[in-house]
Amino acid sequence: MAATFTIFALFTTLSCFCLISIEAGGSATPGFGTDLIHRDSPRSPFYNPSRTRSDRLHAAFRRSVSRASRFSFNQPSDIQSDLTSGSGEYLMKISIGSPPVNNLAIADTGSDLTWIQCQPCTNCYKQNYPYFDPKKSSTYKTLSCDAKPCVALRDDGTSSCDNNSCSYSISYGDQSTSGGDVAEETFTFGSTTGGSAVVPKVTFGCGHDNQGTFNESSSGIVGLGGGAASLVRQLERSISGKFSYCLVPLDNPPTVSSKINFGSNAVVSGPGVVSTPLVSKSPATFYYVTLESLTVGSKSISFKKSKVDGDGEAAEEGNIIIDSGTTLTLLPQSIYDNLESALIAAIKGKRVSDPQNLFTLCYQSTGDLKVPPITAHFTGADIVLLPTSTFLEVEVGITCLTMIPTSLDLAIWGNLSQMDFLIGYDLVKQEVFFKPTDCSKQ
């Protein structure tokens, strides 16, 4: 994506019996969190009961490929939020403005600047919720050109000035665009203490001209990436640079939600925890890590570069990004080919074709189909993936490998490969932590 931002967002008010105030950029606080609800879950307001499980899965898989193309580029207390699952994306409860406006937001680690569709809409796509009206909020404030957030956005080519008013313009790799005013507003999140965490003066984009492939269920973008404009960077001092999430597998009951936490509750510790360094690369939005190899049984598939004179070089640092908004894991073609060959040799089953022509390794689903575990070897962290995440019944009677090849320069570790792991990001220590766990009990 040309502007290195990607994700759509909707916001919702959370009932609160007590309010906690968090200063964006303020001193460290206990943290906050909420549920993450999969967009295709019956708990999601966008759930369509007429669509089959296969319909929903394939829509999510197609979005993985589309999303990858977008990535192409030549304060107060504990905050916790539910993540509602949907079409491979996770909706986060949140609210904006004073008084707060109800909505949902897709949480994404591959985006920085948060923006929503705002009145007056000169060119807005259709959405299910009313457009945000800044005139009805007592805490809305547009930023001047010399404001620090505007200067920071201008440095990466996102913002510009007109009559000393800061504006933004973003173009995505799939030709979608958003433009409008850069402003400050109050955001409200659910809290693990049972109340609400109020965060004033969050920099975001108030979009008046937005078009492209955006979905009606989304009213904008919420950024949890590593760039300076992202929500986690704005809250970095208040949350000590920490956030974590735990994604439940797709087949869990609809009453079970994934969780996202910020601050002290986001610390990942205890038995079984492993960590790998975050690698600083451009663009800063993405969370780059180094995947050294994959193992299938005793067969190792190396990411290391080969040398003509013998020994292989180390794997390129930061050769893959962790992305919560992409469903599938996308691997370089040569690595994928070796992985597929190792799996074919290990699996005893009848191979079949994917009717949707997306997956290249599929088997007839039978009760005795046994798939070997795949171990991902990141620098300093070995992670054994769940067979239920690496192979998924995409249609009745057809089970496919949920890793696919990509011709793009950017490899992506998708959210299916992250399920039933508590994954923590520490932007101060520059590390990502993994802990195998039952996310339905978090």
* Alpha carbon distance 321, 390 (integer Å): 18
* Alpha carbon distance 70, 87 (integer Å): 17
Start-to-end CA distance of the chain, whole Å, equals 34
Active-site residue, from 181, 323, 420, 426: 323
Active-site residue, from 108, 112, 156, 420: 108
What b/e sequence results for 166-191 when a residue is b if at least 16 CB atoms lie within 10 Å of its CB, and e otherwise? bbbbbbbbbebbbbbbbbbbbbbbbb
Distances (CA, A) of 348 to 78, 143, 179, 262, 353: 48, 62, 53, 44, 16
251 catalytic residue (yes or no): no
Tokens at residue 75, please?
């304060």
Count of Cβ atoms closer than 10 Å to residue 308 Cβ = 4
174 catalytic residue (yes or no): no
Q: In what order do the strands lie in the sheet with 391-395?
A: 351-352, 362-364, 398-401, 391-395
**Strands (DSSP E) found in 39-176:** 79-86, 89-96, 101-107, 115-117, 141-142, 159-162, 165-171
421 in Cβ contact with 383 (< 8 Å): yes
State the DSSP code for 439. G
* Alpha carbon distance 342, 345 (integer Å): 5
244 in Cβ contact with 424 (< 8 Å): yes
- Find, among 200, 203, 216, 194, the residue nearest to 168 by Cα: 203
* Alpha carbon distance 440, 255 (integer Å): 10
Output the CA torsion sign for 100, 104, 109, 110: negative
**Which residues participate in catalysis according to the annotation?**
108, 323
